[in-house]
A = this chain, B = another copy of it.
């Protein structure tokens, strides 16, 4: 029996954009949108809303900025119930760039934040809620959050924010399911008026398992990406999530189709997935940036040396 409250968000283009400076062409993004729409997935996150004062459009692709006109071009002529989401980072968005929802092709805005920036995140999320958007706050790098600070942040989110959903984000792919259980239960207990979500990274091949674990403990918002596309090891594969969920509104077939046609060729051009240096940063609960640098070097397969460099680098 399925749980109707579970909402699936596809963030293929948004998280995948972290590999290629958000430079997917419109044809590809339309192919993804069409597949997502046909599969019955609830939301598609299409990119970030970054300030052009901070980042030059010369250096980044379309989906670093998500101008309304670009989103409209993607949606044009495709009938769909799938809602559009964009993500904003604390300190990187110009709120004047965001029109009221009634004038925008965007339905939901997700605010990504570290625990330390929770006050800024609450300011942003309340601002967007007042403009009429569905909103979430996504707490990144949660595997590094201290328990007392996380507790305070969750209480603030419950009491001060208009966010509808608060996500646990395992940015480093470091969590095992016992800690997922601990965090989701904690969030559910404090966030009495909100939904809880899960965004997992796949460094240790646990993104799907941890997402199931979150669902078991009553998270109702879950993220996936087609063929796991996403920075470094990538995310929870959407096709597996749809295979697991029993809601008859979902159809895996359009996703299988777009993997064959778009993602198998794409994987020849850009790299993501289960690659040992990303597994190592996951095991060590570290940001994947050192592993990403290694993969761009001529030592890309020197795993032991990479591991030893990480465990030897700090003397506390």
Task: Report A's interface with B, CB cutoff 8 A.
Answer: 176-178, 202, 204-210, 212-213, 216, 227-228, 237, 239-240, 243-244, 252-253, 256-257, 259-260, 264, 273-274, 276, 279-280, 282-283, 301-304, 307-308
Given A205-B207, A213-B177, A303-B259 in contact, is the A273-B276 Cβ separation under 8 Å? no
Q: A253-B308, A303-B256 are in contact. Are A239 and B176 (CB under 8 A)?
A: no
Closest B residue to A253 using CB positions: B304
**Contact A283-B177, Cβ < 8 Å, known A206-B208, A256-B307:** no
Q: Are B256 and A304 in contact (CB under 8 A)?
A: yes
Cross-chain contact A244 with B302 (CB below 8 angstroms): no
Pair B204/A304 contact, Cβ less than 8 Å: no
CA distance A161 to B302 in the complex (A): 47
Closest to A243 in B: B283
The complex places the Cα of A308 from the Cα of B254 at a distance, in Å, of 12
Residues of B within 8 A of A276 (CB): 227, 239, 256, 259-260
A240/B279 in contact, CB under 8 A: yes
Q: In the complex, are the beta carbons of A204 and B240 less than 8 A apart?
A: yes
The answer to whether B206 touches A307 (Cβ under 8 A) is: no
- Minimal beta-carbon separation of A36 from chain B (angstroms): 15
- Say how many copies of this protein the assembly contains: 2
Residues A260 and B208 in contact in the complex (CB < 8 Å), given A253-B308, A308-B253: no
Expressed in whole angstroms, the minimum distance between the Cβ of A180 and any Cβ of chain B is 10
Q: Which of B176, B210, B252, B273 touches A244 (beta carbons < 8 Å)?
A: B176
Nearest 6 Cβ contacts at the A-B interface = A209-B209, A243-B283, A256-B303, A256-B304, A257-B304, A260-B301
**Which of B212, B273, B282, B308 touches A274 (beta carbons < 8 Å)?**
B273
- Nearest B residue (CB) for A306: B256
Q: A202 and B205: CB pair below 8 A?
A: yes
* Among A202, A213, A273, residue most surrounded by chain B Cβ atoms (within 10 Å): A213
**Could you say which residues of chain B place their CB within 8 Å of the CB of A207?**
205
In-complex Cβ contact of A240 among B205, B264, B307 (8 A): B205
Which of B202, B244, B264, B302 is in CB contact (< 8 Å) with A301?
B264
In the assembly, what is the distance between CA of A264 and CA of B275, in Å?
Answer: 10
Q: When the two chains form their complex, are residues A260 and B302 in contact, meaning their CB atoms are under 8 A apart?
A: yes
B204 touches A205 (CB 8 A): no
Q: Report A294 CB to chain B, min CB distance, Å.
A: 12
| Neighbouring B residues of A240 by C-beta, 8 Å | 204-205, 279, 283
Minimum CB–CB distance from A306 to chain B (whole Å) comes to 8
Asked whether, in the complex, the Cβ of B205 is within 8 Å of the Cβ of A303, the reply is no
Max chain B C-beta neighbours (<10 A), residue from A204, A205, A206, A228: A205
A204-B208, A243-B279, A301-B264 given; A252·B177 CB < 8 A: no
